[in-house]
Amino acid sequence: MKTLLSIGHGYSAQALAPLLLGQGFRIIATTRSPEKAARLRAEGVESLVWPGADLRPALAEATHLLSSVAPDAAGDPVLEALAADLRGTNHLEWVGYLSTTGVYGDRKGGWVDEDSPLTPGTERGRARVQAEADWRATGLPLHIFRLAGIYGPGRGPFEKVRNGTARRIVKPGQVFSRVHVDDIAQVLAASIARPDPGRVYNVCDDDPAPPEDIIAHAAALLRLPVPPAVSWEAVNLPPMARSFYSESKRVRNDRIKSELGVTLIHPDYRAGLAAVLRAETGA
């Protein structure tokens, strides 16, 4: 039986799980929460609470491994816990690591692809570059997925637009790439079906856009007034949010199409937001 060990089974990995379960995969997933572990078991996913559980038996049974765990100040927690075991294994058919397009840094609205230099401008981005290198050093059949801004059911702008807290923050020239979680799931599934160890994939949609456009479109879908524009200089954002606005770039996604045969389910934010609204309201 094909068995995926999903470490840090978060939003993206949870979207992948039904696709693989439908193909007959067994999934062993880790989560920090006993309550979430119980929910996963109800969905047909074996679950372990980690940190805490010994992952070595699950690793020994896995044919596939996905890590969604972000690095911290000490490095990559998965590698810290399992480095010796991972380096000594040769039974894994596919290993995936979820990284971020933040590794490219600020390009002042310019385009990047998977071969662009890695020039992160934040501590978070630099930690991701190091984590990618550390995963490569394991010698595993590694596939790196650099995810753009993730959205989907439960992670859309609609609640803030409804309750009046949404802000159309305008910073001239600011552009983000983003991706619906359904498309992350299908890219991961396509890579598992067509492994190419050592390959890196940008995972994003076809339409990089200013963040204020997303809020305006969400309001239009809800048939509510568009929130007024607020200048970047006038907004007191927390450090994490401010760091996102420190980088502007457009991310190319040609490789997931040409090499993995992916056709995006939600090729732009308009299609994606409409799908989120349907999923959240049942309409």
| Domains of the chain: total | 1
Indicate whether 13 pLDDT > 90. Answer: yes
CA 98, CA 118: separation in Å to the nearest integer?
16
- pLDDT bracket for residue 154 (50, 70, 90): very high
* Phi (first) and psi of residue 222, to 5 degrees: -85, -5
- pLDDT bracket for residue 283 (50, 70, 90): low
Query: What is the rounded average pLDDT of the residues 105-110?
Result: 96
Domain-located, residue 279: no
pLDDT at 236: 84
CA 43, CA 98: separation in Å to the nearest integer?
23
Over residues 174-215, the pLDDT tens digits come to 999 999 999 999 999 999 999 999 999 999 999 999 999 999
Q: Of the ranges 33-42, 110-119, 228-237, which one carries the lowest mean pLDDT score?
A: 228-237
Domain-located, residue 97: yes
Domain-located, residue 131: yes
CA 18, CA 56: separation in Å to the nearest integer?
24
Domain-located, residue 78: yes
Domain holding 190, by residue range, is 3-152+177-205+249-266
The neighbouring-strand residues paired with 95 are 65, 142
- CATH assignment at residue 119: 3.40.50.720
pLDDT at 146: 98
pLDDT at 244: 81
Answer yes or no: are the C-beta atoms of 182 and 265 closer than 8 Å.
Answer: yes
Q: Of the ranges 79-88, 105-114, 213-222, which one carries the lowest mean pLDDT score?
A: 79-88
Domain-located, residue 119: yes
CA angle 145, 149, 155 (to 5 degrees): 120
Answer yes or no: are the C-beta atoms of 192 and 141 closer than 8 Å.
Answer: no
Indicate whether 78 pLDDT > 90. Answer: yes
CA 178, CA 197: separation in Å to the nearest integer?
25
Could you list the beta-strand ranges (E) of 26-125.
26-31, 46-49, 64-67, 94-100, 111-112
Q: Of the ranges 110-114, 115-119, 219-223, 234-238, which one carries the lowest mean pLDDT score?
A: 234-238
pLDDT at 233: 83
pLDDT at 213: 97
Domain-located, residue 94: yes
Indicate whether 113 pLDDT > 90. Answer: yes
pLDDT at 170: 94
Over residues 18-61, the pLDDT tens digits come to 999 999 999 999 999 999 999 999 999 999 999 999 999 999 99
Helices (H), 62-147: 77-87, 123-136
Answer yes or no: are the C-beta atoms of 96 and 67 closer than 8 Å.
Answer: yes
pLDDT at 235: 84
pLDDT at 243: 82
pLDDT at 30: 98
Query: What is the rounded average pLDDT of the residues 9-16?
Result: 98
Over residues 58-77, the pLDDT tens digits come to 999 999 999 999 999 899 99
More confident residue, 246 or 65: 65
Domain-located, residue 22: yes
What is the percentage of the chain residues whose pLDDT exceeds 70? 100
Residue among 186, 181, 73, 170 nearest 126 (CA): 73
Domain-located, residue 282: no
CA 105, CA 123: separation in Å to the nearest integer?
11
